[in-house]
Amino acid sequence: MGQSMIMVETILTTVLSSALYVTSAAFAPAATAPEVALTRVLPENSYVAYTVKDTDTLATISQRQYGSVDYWTTIWNDNTWITDPANIEAGMLLQIRSEKPSEPEVLTETTAAPTQDAVAVPTLTPVVTQAPPSVAASNNPGVISDEAVTYLGNCEAGNDPAKNTGNGYYGAFQFSPGTWNNLNTGYARADLAPIEVQRAAVKQLLGRSSIYNQFPGCANKMRSAGLI
C-alpha cells in the first residue's frame, strides 16, 4: 500500500513538472532582435532658406547674413538660376550657407546660367526679369566711362585715393579688403595704391560685377545723372 502511494506521487509530480515546463516554454518571451544603428549623412555645407524682400539685392543679403557685401558672389554661385544679382524679385527663395565662408568666392562659369538642379526648392519657379540696359552694360569690361569713374570716386569718398576713416573701407572708391585683394593689384590696401591703379581696379571690378551691387547708393545717383 505504501509503495503504491509513492509511485502515484512520483507519477503526479512528473506529470505536473512536464506541464509546467511546457507552459513556461509556451509563454517565454521571444529573443529580442538587436537594434540597427542608423547614421544620417549630412551634406558638407549646410544651407538655410531665405525669402527675398522688396528692397533686397544679393549684396544687401550678403551684408545681412555675413556682415559684408563681398559674399554676394558666393550666394550667386549657390543660386545659379539668378540672371541679374541686382534685380531679384520679392518672394524668391534662395539657399544661403548657414556658416560664413572663409573668403568670398570667385564667380563660377555656370553662374547666371539657369540649371534645373541649382534651385533650393524644386517646386519653386523663380521669376526672371530682364536686366536694365545699364546693369547689363556694367557687366562688360571697359563699358564704364572715365567720366563715370570720376563721378563714382567723388560720390564714394571725394575722389581721395588715401581715404581711410577706420570704417573698414579704403581709397577713393571705398574698397573692402576682400574685394581689393581679389583684384590682385599688388597693393595691400586701396588707400595705399595710386589713383590710377584704383581707377583701373574699379573698371576691372565692374567688368565682372554689377555696379548696383558694388556701389548701390552712388549707382542710383549716376543713373539719374545719365552716366550709366
The predicted-structure confidence for 41-70, as pLDDT tens digits, reads as follows 334 458 899 999 988 888 889 888 999 988
Kindly tell me if the per-residue pLDDT of 147 is higher than 90: yes
- 118 and 73 share one domain: yes
pLDDT at 125: 37
Q: Among 174, 164, 161, which residue's Cα sits nearest to residue 217?
A: 174
- 73 and 120 share one domain: yes
Beta-carbon count within 10 A of 142 CB: 9
pLDDT at 201: 94
Picking from 129, 149, 179, the residue at the C-terminal end of a domain is: 129
Q: How confident is the model at residue 81 (pLDDT cuts 50, 70, 90)?
A: confident
Kindly tell me if the per-residue pLDDT of 116 is higher than 70: no
pLDDT at 179: 92
Picking from 129, 144, 160, the residue at the C-terminal end of a domain is: 129
49 vs 93: CA distance, rounded Å: 7
Element (H, E) at 49: strand 47-51
- 143 and 84 share one domain: no
Assigned domain for 166 exists = yes
83 vs 118: CA distance, rounded Å: 13
Assigned domain for 30 exists = no
pLDDT at 111: 55
- 173 and 122 share one domain: no
Q: Among 205, 224, 226, 225, which residue's Cα sits nearest to residue 215?
A: 205
Look up the domain containing 119 and give its range: 44-129
- 123 and 143 share one domain: no
Query: How many structural domains are present in the chain?
Result: 2
Higher pLDDT: 11 or 219? It is: 219
The CATH number linked to 66 is 3.10.350
- 140 and 220 share one domain: yes
The CATH number linked to 146 is 1.10.530.10
Tell me the whole-structure pTM to 2 decimals. Answer: 0.42
Q: Is the distance from CB of 195 to CB of 106 less than 8 angstroms?
A: no
Assigned domain for 74 exists = yes
Q: Is the distance from CB of 108 to CB of 74 less than 8 angstroms?
A: no
The C-alpha cell that represents 43 in the structure block? 551634406
Cβ neighbors of 225 (< 8 A, separation 6 or more) are: 151
